[in-house]
């Protein structure tokens, strides 16, 4: 004789299935639990343009138009710099070079600078 599952059993099965499906979205991205390790999520931004300002002493560069220093990027020891597809130093970059900068939006520190030197006539 075939038995029909009880309504209570069906509800319990549905609740378990739904908790398996929706539980990961309710968990904290930091691994759940306490929020003692609060870190700022980074966002890599990009800017492309001519080098309009460069400060070799303070290690800053501005790519493209910048109003009131808003586009000034910091260069760190870990910044990867290349010019014409060749690895180079920060001192090799000049005003007017065409540059693509990838940088951390929060700290404004450049992660990578890739440039093309502009030939002077």
According to the 3-state scheme, what is the secondary structure of 26-41?
A: HCCCCCCCCCCCCCCC
pTM of the model: 0.61
What is the structure's pLDDT at 84? 93
Beta strands in 1-121 (DSSP E): 44-55, 60-63, 72-83, 86-87, 98-104, 109-116
CA gap 7, 101 in Å, rounded = 62
Ranges of each domain in the chain? 44-116
Per-residue pLDDT tens over the stretch 84-116: 999 999 999 999 999 999 999 899 999 999 999
Query: How would CATH label the architecture of 44-116?
Result: Beta Barrel (2.40)
């Amino acid at each position: 004789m075939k038995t029909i599952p009880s309504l209570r059993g069906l509800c319990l099965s549905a609740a378990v299935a739904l908790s398996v499906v929706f539980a990961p979205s309710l968990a904290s991205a930091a691994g759940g639990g306490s929020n003692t390790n609060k870190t700022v999520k980074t966002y890599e931004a990009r800017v492309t343009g001519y080098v309009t300002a460069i400060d070799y002493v303070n290690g800053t560069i501005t790519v493209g138009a910048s109003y009131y220093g808003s586009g000034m990027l910091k260069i760190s020891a870990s910044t990867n710099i290349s010019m014409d597809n060749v690895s180079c130093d920060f001192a090799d970059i000049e005003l007017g070079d065409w540059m693509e900068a990838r940088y951390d939006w929060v700290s404004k520190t450049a992660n990578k600078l890739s440039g093309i030197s502009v030939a002077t006539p």
